[in-house]
Structure 1
Amino acid sequence: MTPPDASGSPGGRWSDLDRPPLNGTALRRALVREGGLWHRLDLVQRTGSTNSDLVARAADEDLAEGAVLVAEEQTAARGRLDRRWTAPPRSGLFFSVLLRPTEVPVARWGWLPLLTGVAVATGLSRVAGVDTALKWPNDLLVTVGGEERKAGGILAERAGDGVVVGVGVNVGLRADELPVPQAGSLALAGAASTDRDPLLRGVLRSLEDWYGRWRSAGGDPAASGLQETYAAGCATLGRVVRAELPGDRSLVGEAVAVDGDGRLVLATAAGVQEPVGAGDIVHLRPA
């Protein structure tokens, strides 16, 4: 007999018993509390993009900071520069959060994707027991068979006087489901746990912690410890890379630092240190 899906009908896209659904009630009980950052958590079965939805809600509903939108499946997920990607239902963590760091100078808001990267990597390492690294500016890397592979990405978008930050992480993706050979997942990296409920709790608690530190420091990446922690976990630093820029231009150099504005500093063969911002990059590749 074919097992029923979440709606009670036989078969269907929720019949994969290796991928149980997230428990929205338990997540809200664990994360939404008085005095905490997260004040609302909505869980939907399917949507185009949690980022697009939350940006629209922030404008239409005047949402307060700390709203979280989680989806079991995204059909039109977007990465940086509007790059598209898809994943099977319940195979990962797909969520967006609304932040309004109004007390932090807007010039420092560019650190939010990097801060989220640190928080996600920290939370996943603690709960899943898998070694993670960050590729500047917005990718999460895991090691599969001795090779670094992208297992997640981050997208930040302005939403009025706030920012919506979206996160996508491949959790239980199998080898035959990878969109490209260079992709990876926590499962393929040998994670101790692929239970998405504690993974999501760990990531959101870590994000609340790092965001609180950064905001308390007025967005100062050095005073909050963010700049040092990001550099320590950034796999890009110390490598020679090619930054592909708009207009078919490129810049080759060793990635030597992430500066106070969150830019990647490249030491070129000409002996010049060139900072490159995330908004200026089309691709960043090994040289």
Structure 2
Amino acid sequence: MTPNPSGDPGRWSDLSRPPLNAAALRRALTGADSIWTSLEVVERTGSTNTDLAARARDGSAHEGAVLVAEEQTAGRGRLEREWSAPPRSGIFVSMLIVPPVPQERWGWVPLLAGVATASALARTAGIDTKLKWPNDVLVDIGGEERKTGGILAERTDVTAEQGSGEEGNGEEKRSGGAGIVLGIGLNVSLHEPELPVPSAGSLVLAGAQAADRDPLLRAVLRSVEDWYGRWAAADGDPVASGLLEAYAAGCATLGRHVRAELPGGGELVGEAVAVDSDGRLVIGTEEGVQRPVAAGDIVHLRGDGGHGSDGGAEA
């Protein structure tokens, strides 16, 4: 750390973790040919998902808005888990989308984001990742699977602009229906002492060829746009868009002995045999029954290279 003139270390003095270039990111990612309509980088916030959802509701953020934080102090994952990380040590980004497909297919959005993130990291960071159903990104560190990223998709009300008021006093607002705030969090440059739990990892610890967050963020957003376009063009059909095949190919959960901790306190133990066309994890029990799980916390049981669900970045 390099001290600033006041003598305090300063939030932004770690030269190994430079700030994102917001202007360059906007030039590269937003425009007429992109689904991303705006991009803002803030220095510090609790949760980019929470902030963007609030903006969507009050009409100050519109479809295609992207919000990025240099530091996130209360990132949220599934089951309202909280997570934080040092400034500029990761990617913390949320996007506002309004999928033009039947809402019963919106459950595929977090799985789509997982496929997009994995392919972006393979191209840009040169590392192989695996996906843990439904929303974790895993990397291999010393032969052990560790969570380096998390995805959180949340439905939100979206307020749309209607146009000018009667006397030109500004723009009236109207309900624009529902949308999704899609958050992706990635541990990029965290070192072992900085990890929230031992089961967490980072791209640097996994041997990433590059840890520059600017190209990583560009790659992730472009990959999400690509997969989102394919999925939307197929009216949300995961088979026709190739999404189901791609997710199954990269899913570390399939073929594993797992425990599904279900909403309400129940659990289901068995082999994860498939992801069905609704994005649900199908578990084969010892009784020979196959049961689809739409929501739950999945634990890869020990003896199968087990991996829990805590420790990765969330939005």
> Counterpart amino acid of 2:274?
A
Please name the residue that 2:112 is paired with. 115
Please name the residue that 1:4 is paired with. 4
Please name the residue that 1:204 is paired with. 221
Q: Distance in 2 between matches of 1:164 and 1:152?
A: 17
Matching of residue 255 in structure 1 with residue 272 in structure 2: yes
Please name the residue that 1:276 is paired with. 293
For the 8 Å contact 2:253–2:300, the answer to whether it is kept is: no
> Counterpart amino acid of 2:55?
R
Q: Distance in 1 between matches of 2:300 and 2:255?
A: 13
Q: Distance in 2 between matches of 1:29 and 1:4?
A: 31
The unaligned stretches of length 5 or more in structure 1 are none
Q: 1:4 Cα shift?
A: 3.3
Q: 1:62 Cα shift?
A: 5.4
Change (3 A) 1:271 1:204: same
Q: Distance in 2 between matches of 1:171 and 1:2?
A: 21
User: Match for 2:52 among 46, 54, 68?
Assistant: 54
Matching of residue 159 in structure 1 with residue 174 in structure 2: no
Alignment length (residue pairs): 282
Q: Distance in 2 between matches of 1:163 and 1:222?
A: 22
> Counterpart amino acid of 1:31?
L
Q: Distance in 2 between matches of 1:144 and 1:61?
A: 43
Q: 1:124 Cα shift?
A: 1.1
User: Match for 1:133 among 130, 135, 139?
Assistant: 130
Q: Distance in 2 between matches of 1:267 and 1:106?
A: 28
Q: Distance in 2 between matches of 1:118 and 1:2?
A: 38
Please name the residue that 2:77 is paired with. 79
Q: Distance in 2 between matches of 1:41 and 1:135?
A: 29
**Which is greater in Rg?**
2
> Counterpart amino acid of 1:15?
S
Q: Distance in 2 between matches of 1:4 and 1:25?
A: 25
Q: 1:2 Cα shift?
A: 4.2
Q: Distance in 2 between matches of 1:167 and 1:108?
A: 20
Please name the residue that 2:160 is paired with. none
Deviations 1:186-220 (A, max 9, x none): 00000000000000000000000000000000000
For the 8 Å contact 1:243–1:285, the answer to whether it is kept is: no
Identity %: 67
Please name the residue that 1:25 is paired with. 23
Please name the residue that 1:189 is paired with. 206
Matching of residue 215 in structure 1 with residue 232 in structure 2: yes
Higher helix residue share:
1
Q: Please report the TM-score for the alignment, with normalisation by the length of structure 1.
A: 0.95
Q: Distance in 2 between matches of 1:231 and 1:237?
A: 7
- Map 1:144-183 to 2 at 5 A: 144-160=141-157, 161-183=178-200
Name the SS for the 1:59 alignment partner: helix
Name the SS for the 1:45 alignment partner: strand
Q: 1:58 Cα shift?
A: 0.4
Name the SS for the 2:215 alignment partner: helix
Q: Distance in 1 between matches of 2:56 and 2:97?
A: 10
Q: Distance in 1 between matches of 2:31 and 2:154?
A: 26
Please name the residue that 1:40 is paired with. 38
For the 8 Å contact 2:52–2:61, the answer to whether it is kept is: no
For the 8 Å contact 1:50–1:96, the answer to whether it is kept is: yes
Q: Distance in 1 between matches of 2:264 and 2:39?
A: 41
Q: 1:3 Cα shift?
A: 4.2
